[in-house]
Structure 1
Amino acid sequence: MSATHEVTNQVPPLVGHDVAEDPVLLEALHREGAGWAEPDLRALGRLAGSEQAQEWGRVVNDNEPVLRTHDRYGNRIDEVEFHPYWHSLMTVAVENGMHATPWTDPTPGAHVARAAKMFVWTQVEAGHSCPISMTYAVIPTLRSNPELAARYEPLLTARQYDFGLRVPTEKRGLIAGMSMTEKQGGSDVRANTTRATPAGDGTYRLVGHKWFTSAPMSDVFATLAQAPGGLTCFLLPRVLPDGTRNRMHIQRLKDKLGNRSNASAELEYDEAVGWRLGEEGEGVKVILRMVNNTRLDCLLSSAAGMRYGAVQAIHHARHRGAFGSVLIEKPLMRNVLADLVVESEAATLVGMRLAGATDRGEEVIRRIGLAVSKYWVCKRGPAHAAEALECFGGNGYIEESGMPRLYREAPLQSIWEGSGNVAALDALRAMARQPETVEAFFTEVDQASGADPRLDDAIEGLRKELSDLADIEFRARRVVETMALVLQGSLLVRHGSAAVADAFCASRLAGDWGVALGTLPSGVDTEAIIARAAV
């Protein structure tokens, strides 16, 4: 066949780089007390940037999990089959301690190190981070029952990934899931109708239906059900101590917009056996110990997606020519790319700050900081992904670019663990029930007082905003957005690049910013900003 054309002006794939080569991440790693983890983080970053790891991520999304409800003889088995590369991704995550190991690691900064690794490895493939995150988050909830914690915690924190349906205590390592949402309730878990009846031997029998259960192949699940004393949290294993299957039937897998490598299911409890976590009637209080940790991972995952999008967009613009020069030399494209980096670095800084608060037991600032930042960072993710994709032009709309997967994944973090309104109202609830959170918030942001007049003005404006509680619920999104921006601005002014901090304050805080990304005001140092995400 004769050649019809020569292939030119196509961007080479971005492979063979260190994903952990990220100045804001590495600086935060050291500042938050986990500098000792840099060698391991770098090794993980090199794997994340390899062609092999990127192929794992692509293939598991092209080959989605499959539900096998029965075997060939008609026996109920409720198995979910995954591509072998899914297990490769999970193995790396578990062996690197991204699941539950920080809870038993006495090394200062263990949660920060884990957060940095999640940030790097999630850029390879986001779906498998869901069961990793739930395993991390379940430990504080599991400790509501010391006997169960003694039995399962050593296995949940073990750095061995051991897939398969077997008696949990006979495995080398465990993965945990969470099952709360029902058809009629959504985030309103107090409307749950699943019933839990005491069996007289310390266990309960659960009957009901769960509308969303992510990672249904996990070994144990934290779930909510109505016990005689009210809504209660329970631990349910997939396989009972005697080796029989617990009566937790997977009805079907969800056909989702994104997160397609990870199975999400509808689960039927038919006299399923469960052990109580905490007292009857304290289910919300107990499960929130888990939710508050998965919310941190939602924030980190959104930040990781932003970093990935910014890096990919800059790489494309450095190699793609148009109208007489490469795209990155065009002033308007530089504005867009710089704005993507500013958003990315602000998200990374606040995520790592809150991971540090976890390590240091700074519960008050963590409570309010996580509530406002989960709302805002996860809300910004989809807009950021769309803009990064558009930098590729039509090539970004093609699956082979990898950008459509990023775009589909982005909205999920804002939905998981309470969608936008729930997150905003949670911030108001924290301030109303724990007034010390407001004091802690301003103590945090005031550490940058006097460093930038635009930040000072924004902090003062926020104080006035919070002094007027009239119509506060209607204004919740605006109030929480402002809090998140002020917190990010304070962190950038104290710890970030001078160019990034200036661009952030000039746009997000001074109001000299348009509606779309790529509307930074004149005078910002786009060259210095873009260089921070150029690979």
Structure 2
Amino acid sequence: MPATHEVFNQPGPLEGHDVAADAALTEGLEREGAGWAGAELHELGRLAGTARVRGWAEQADTYGPVLRTHDRYGHRVDEVDFHPAWHVLTDTAVTHGLHAAPWADDRPGAHVARTAKFYAWSQVENGHGCPISMTYAAVPALRRSPALAARFEPLLTARSYDFGLRPPLAKEGLLAGMSMTEKQGGSDVRANTTRAVPGADGTYRLTGHKWFTSGPMGDVFLTLAQAPEGLTCFLVPRVLDDGTRNTLHIQRLKNKLGNRSNASAELEYDGAAGWAVGDPGDGVRTIIEMVNCTRLDCVIGSAAGMRAGLAQAVHHAGGRHAFGRALIDQPLMRNVLADLAVESEAATALMMRLAGAVDRSVRGDAAETAFRRLAVAVGKFWVTKRQPAHAAEALECLGGNGYIEESGMPRLFRESPLNSIWEGSGNVAALDVLRAMATRPDGVEAFTAELALAEGADRRFDAALKRLHAEFADSGHLEARARRVVELMALTLQASLLIRHSPAPVADAFVGSRLGGDGGAVFGTLPAGTDTAAIIDRSRPRG
């Protein structure tokens, strides 16, 4: 190399740390009743922080899935080929129980533990998390048909990754997918036109086209179709019990903005065999069991993305010098980093509270069930909306180095809008909050009771709480105001959690900037006097 090519003032890659060494995460794990999972969480976190795993993520994203519709003889095969790195990532996720394993675990906190582990591992690579998430969400929907659950649930919860097209009951473990969206309807699934005709053998035959189906290489799919009784949910296997391929054909893979390692496809159902899940004509109520779980995973994915971006930004700023001193020691950069840290901690604290609500509702807690129904929708709307701006600011902290693919930041940025779109975009999520408030008054009571736990601790929070109650009391133009109302619900819920559970500098910065009017529209506008040093130190990546 020429003598001028001396590399200095470059922080180097962030590796060799424990991704799970995150105070907001570990404190939430203890608080929500899953402290017993700490050892496995940190084992997974240390693995996620290695250079080897970072390489897997880059490979899985660079060498995306490839569709093979036919073999060399002309037989229809509908196979999706993945880079080996995808399989290693997915195998790790399944082995550590990030899929449906909590449904087979009777320990209190099982779903909280799974949330924490999924959060840590999602910071590696998001795409392979999609089939993991759908498998987790399939179980409660499938339980609406006990006979089907008895057959398939043990394999969906098994910690065995068994890739390949074979009869489901002949495999050691299964992955599930969702096949709902059609091109004419999008989120309006009642507009679906796929038809299901009952047969003499107890199955239905489905015919129609699905516009977005993630994880088409999965073993079974929960599918919505119009039966004679109305819109119904069906379980459709890729391979039938006799080993023949079901007539479910992959037309093409989508060329997406992000989530490139994951296959998303258009599927053609050509008389495909499936079993009704739940009562015929009750498809929406059945599939909502799945949607409520995947919406929690949208919150997890966005919170994980924020944490990953923050870790990179803090690491870079600590090892890069400009204008005579380290970036991390410069007041304006400290404001930006602290603001990113506050947003990340608020998302993580909310994520863990929602996970606790899921865990306790599964165990029969009526108040937590009511809280979960409303709070998950609120969290899905808000946290997923915050990630794109967060990712952009974190990338900017690295300057031009962050704009280079090898940094991983462009992949993080491309991924950031996904969770806001998946399982209902912003308007759908906000309107679902209004629907939940109208149909479940006990949910509103549980939600406001949660907020009230922090009442009296901060006058700015108390003032925001009064504004929220005024919004609830005003029934005029409610749909047009939905985003405004849900945003305030999310901010007050996050503030309540931070006031009660986070260090004072974090809570004070959040309340002052998000609720007290002492913050701007961009990151890096925390109030003067904020203890940025304490906030940043709490957020540093650690070994």
TM-score per shorter chain, which class? Answer: over 0.9
The separation in 2 between residues aligned to 1:8 and 1:58, in whole angstroms, is 25
Which deviations, in whole Å up to 9, do the C-alpha atoms of 1:413-454 show, x marking residues without a partner? Answer: 000000000000000110011122111111011011111111
The separation in 2 between residues aligned to 1:516 and 1:235, in whole angstroms, is 45
Letter of the 1:428 counterpart: L
Which deviations, in whole Å up to 9, do the C-alpha atoms of 1:454-507 show, x marking residues without a partner? Answer: 111111110011100101111100100000000000000001121100000110
| Residue aligning to 2:501 | 495
The separation in 1 between residues aligned to 2:539 and 2:73, in whole angstroms, is 55
- 1:448 alignment partner, SS class: coil
The separation in 2 between residues aligned to 1:90 and 1:287, in whole angstroms, is 24
The separation in 2 between residues aligned to 1:4 and 1:504, in whole angstroms, is 46
Structure 1 position 280, deviation (Å): 1.4
Structure 1 position 5, deviation (Å): 2.7
| Residue aligning to 2:177 | 177
Structure 1 position 128, deviation (Å): 0.5
The separation in 2 between residues aligned to 1:501 and 1:61, in whole angstroms, is 37
The separation in 2 between residues aligned to 1:366 and 1:468, in whole angstroms, is 24
| Residue aligning to 1:292 | 292
The separation in 2 between residues aligned to 1:438 and 1:231, in whole angstroms, is 29
| Residue aligning to 1:425 | 431
Letter of the 2:300 counterpart: L
- 2:539 alignment partner, SS class: coil
Report 1:81-480 matches (<5 A).
Answer: 81-361=81-361, 362-480=368-486
Percent pairwise identity: 68
The separation in 2 between residues aligned to 1:171 and 1:179, in whole angstroms, is 22
- 1:69 alignment partner, SS class: strand
Deviating beyond 4 angstroms after TM superposition, the runs of 4 or more aligned structure 1 residues are none
The separation in 2 between residues aligned to 1:435 and 1:160, in whole angstroms, is 42
Letter of the 2:35 counterpart: G
The separation in 2 between residues aligned to 1:213 and 1:360, in whole angstroms, is 31
Structure 1 position 2, deviation (Å): 3.7
| Residue aligning to 1:79 | 79
Root mean square deviation, CA, Å: 0.7
- 2:205 alignment partner, SS class: strand
- 2:25 alignment partner, SS class: helix
- 1:514 alignment partner, SS class: coil
- 2:267 alignment partner, SS class: strand
Structure 1 position 166, deviation (Å): 0.3
The separation in 1 between residues aligned to 2:392 and 2:209, in whole angstroms, is 36
Which deviations, in whole Å up to 9, do the C-alpha atoms of 1:343-376 show, x marking residues without a partner? Answer: 0000000010010011111111111111111100
The separation in 2 between residues aligned to 1:444 and 1:289, in whole angstroms, is 23
| Residue aligning to 2:365 | none
- Which shifted more, 405-414 or 434-443? 434-443
Q: Give TM-score scaled by structure 2 length.
A: 0.98
- 1:469 alignment partner, SS class: coil
Structure 1 position 4, deviation (Å): 3.0
The separation in 1 between residues aligned to 2:529 and 2:375, in whole angstroms, is 31
Report 1:38-49 matches (<5 A).
Answer: 38-49=38-49
The separation in 1 between residues aligned to 2:76 and 2:7, in whole angstroms, is 54
In structure 2, the gaps of 5 or more residues are 362-367
Structure 1 position 136, deviation (Å): 0.2
Letter of the 1:93 counterpart: A
| Residue aligning to 2:515 | 509
| Residue aligning to 1:32 | 32
Which deviations, in whole Å up to 9, do the C-alpha atoms of 1:33-84 show, x marking residues without a partner? Answer: 0000000001000000011111111110000000000000010000000011
The separation in 2 between residues aligned to 1:4 and 1:164, in whole angstroms, is 53
The separation in 2 between residues aligned to 1:108 and 1:5, in whole angstroms, is 57
The separation in 2 between residues aligned to 1:497 and 1:413, in whole angstroms, is 29
The separation in 1 between residues aligned to 2:378 and 2:116, in whole angstroms, is 21
The separation in 2 between residues aligned to 1:252 and 1:145, in whole angstroms, is 32
Which deviations, in whole Å up to 9, do the C-alpha atoms of 1:138-192 show, x marking residues without a partner? Answer: 0011111111100000000000000000000000000000000001000000000
Letter of the 2:406 counterpart: E
Letter of the 1:198 counterpart: P
The separation in 2 between residues aligned to 1:245 and 1:382, in whole angstroms, is 40
Q: Give TM-score scaled by structure 1 length.
A: 0.99
- 2:78 alignment partner, SS class: strand
The separation in 2 between residues aligned to 1:533 and 1:504, in whole angstroms, is 15
The separation in 2 between residues aligned to 1:66 and 1:54, in whole angstroms, is 22
| Residue aligning to 1:531 | 537
The separation in 2 between residues aligned to 1:439 and 1:148, in whole angstroms, is 36
The separation in 2 between residues aligned to 1:54 and 1:432, in whole angstroms, is 46
The separation in 1 between residues aligned to 2:141 and 2:105, in whole angstroms, is 18
| Residue aligning to 2:364 | none
The separation in 1 between residues aligned to 2:472 and 2:285, in whole angstroms, is 27
Which deviations, in whole Å up to 9, do the C-alpha atoms of 1:109-151 show, x marking residues without a partner? Answer: 0000000000000000000010000000000111111111000
- 2:28 alignment partner, SS class: helix
The separation in 2 between residues aligned to 1:161 and 1:332, in whole angstroms, is 47
